[in-house]
Structure 1
Amino acid sequence: MEPTVSYPQTRTCPYRPPHGYSELTAKGPLHRVELIDGKLGWVVTRHAEARALLADPRLSSDRTDPDFPLISARGAAVRRQPPAFIGMDDPEHGYYRRMTIPDFTVKRINELRPRIEEIADGAAEQLRAAGAPADLVANYALPIPSLVICELLGVPYSDHAFFEDASRRLMRSATEEEVAAARKELVQYLDSLVDSFSRDSSQTGLIGRLARGELARGELSRDHLVGTAMLLLTAGHETTANVIALGSVTLLEHPDQLARFRTDPDVVPGVVEELLRFTSVADSAGIRVATADIDIAGERIRAGEGVMIPNGPANFDPEVFPEPDEFDIRRGARKHNAFGYGIHQCLGQNLARLELQIALPLLFERFPTLALARPATELEPGRADTIQGLGELTVTW
């Protein structure tokens, strides 16, 4: 058996997964890994095995399970809290997820296009008003998905500075104490919104709908409603904002492909899919614990062992994506795992795709001379154990 490898691995380039994962992919699909608490688990680095395991009901997403793998010290803060449906298995997972689906259907998301275009237009004006050099994250990449998810949930955007900061600390802090503090702030804030929306039928959005519907009828507990709201609020703006920022860097670093992106609107959907594959911002997602022995690819995963299925290695598997290290906007990349796979596939993927298809072309249309203020090689990658992205990105034009 090969030596135990380190997991998670830190990026050296902010807009693509670590090269170490590609080296593991070349050696095989499953590799032993030692976690921070000394337990041994598995990391999966090939596309076929990743999808097979993500769809296997013998792998559990129950974060309250004492064997659920920890990939960071801050993970312990999550383990002791009531999980949102992302941390549940069926049938509970399906029961709670179905309550949110009406707000994320393809039809509903397409109805939001005019409003998202209006929001993106406002963000472009905010970036221009900031004056070059300016922070693309604070003035463009973050405001778009943040305002969109606020309106979808019913959260007042006037509170965005608070919840963006708390979300950032929740997802990026290094210690259990810092994560617990950020989570407590968000729980108290969202709990107060549930109180308000329960009494006010004029409040639109998912939180008000559930508060006056499923919660009032006893079909949903208050803890589960608050947990669902927190999941959708934090994931709904953090991930897409990071793809906008890292996607902008990727395009600027590939000027020949950027030129075609600027001039051919037909390539936009394909460019978005390739950026989702190439940046793989949720590289530390796909964490599970085995509830039974699983034989796969010549290895046996034992019951109680942790299984890490990062989307980066699967998205760079040469068996599925030839020459995966090449950013290629002509690639048919829809088979990527950027949104996960199986029953936990990202609920908001249609919304994220639409936001990206609107925000990225508009950015380069409004700022035709957009450029990085400093070389991409000087940009600092994010922590290995959380959503990948940039805290700031200074650009000029």
Structure 2
Amino acid sequence: MLASLIHLTVGLALVLLLRRPARRLFGAGPAFTLWLWPALLATLPWLPAVPVRWHWLPSVAVTPAGFAVAASNVPATAAGVPWMTLWLIGSIVALLRIALVYARLRRDSRPAPAELLARCQHEYPTLDTRRLRLHPQGPAVLWSWRSLILLPADFTRRFGAEQRALVLAHEQAHLARRDPLWSVLAEVASALLWFHPLAWLALPRFRLDQELACDERILRHRAHVAGSYARTLLASTGMDASPVLIPWLAEPQLKERLMMIRRDRTSTTRRLAGYLGMGLFIGGVCLAAQASPRTTEPGAKATQDLQANARMAPRYPKASIDNKEQGTVVLTVRVNPSGTVKAVDYDATTSTTSSANLIAAASSAAMQWHFNPAMKNGQPIESYARVPVTFSLNELPDPQKQPSEDTKKH
């Protein structure tokens, strides 16, 4: 999880740094695809790596006695549970807020009157009028299984015929680009990353880049209406962006959108080059992550630092004892040249248990282990090991507790 968070942070930082230069070079459409980078980079630690040779190390035995000792000596906060609980509470609150706002938006939307439907159909023949609803926060697009176009009750009075056609074309472009779905996914991601400052910084910029890409799409096919499009924006009453809602105009976006309209449109060649460049970058990063294990010595073998690891032995979870869970958890451990653990994964193919409690107990202990690193040409290198951790409810004999010969005689 920590590796994914680090990759996500790097991705967000890259997008925030490159979004403006990419927009100037390739256009708003290719620049908007940069927002895929954080999500894709976050998945890299979970992608299967190129197969390498994993060396088996001696098994680690865990019994309920280990749990009893740990329970009396280790503080309850050592496992980091409060931090996970805090993250979970914050995420639930943020997601509930989005759900409540969405429910309120759906509740306040009403069917559009037949007169408005007929006029919109006449002025914009390709419009799917089944999507039209009346809502005070319109014009806007709201995500749904069939995403909705929200229009204000005074839509025909507020906008002239040409302006209405441009507004409807803009909302249709949002639907064609699947923007309502991307907007909801961005909102959910921000809710889960409520603790991350870059997530709060990124969300309004994501919304702006989404609008700029939509504007560019409209003007690419209607370059002759750029002046009317700008006047329509200026004549509109801006509103603050709400969760799960894509408004026609949010006030902070006005300046950037007007500047984009004034600039010359990016050529098709440069736009295609931008899309290709974004795809090649992500593909290259994924391939590099996949191939990274080849840079190490496949035959290198690390060994456990038994004296140090004895103090970090896995603890038998109480829930597993109560549920009579036992078996062997096989861990695949990547060892840094320093001997610290780089990554720990669960090998389902060779393990004899799938208990989440046992897997978590073994993995959390293994992340604190230390190894004697493998050597190549006298230098420590990254290496790979399989470590079986056997959880058994049968107590192992303790030599110190065996009766002495004198005791037996009495």
- Scaled by the length of structure 1, what TM-score is found? 0.22
Question: Per residue, is there more helix in 1 or in 2?
Answer: 2
- Structure with the bigger RCO (C-alpha within 8 Å, sep 6+) is 1
Question: Per residue, is there more strand in 1 or in 2?
Answer: 2
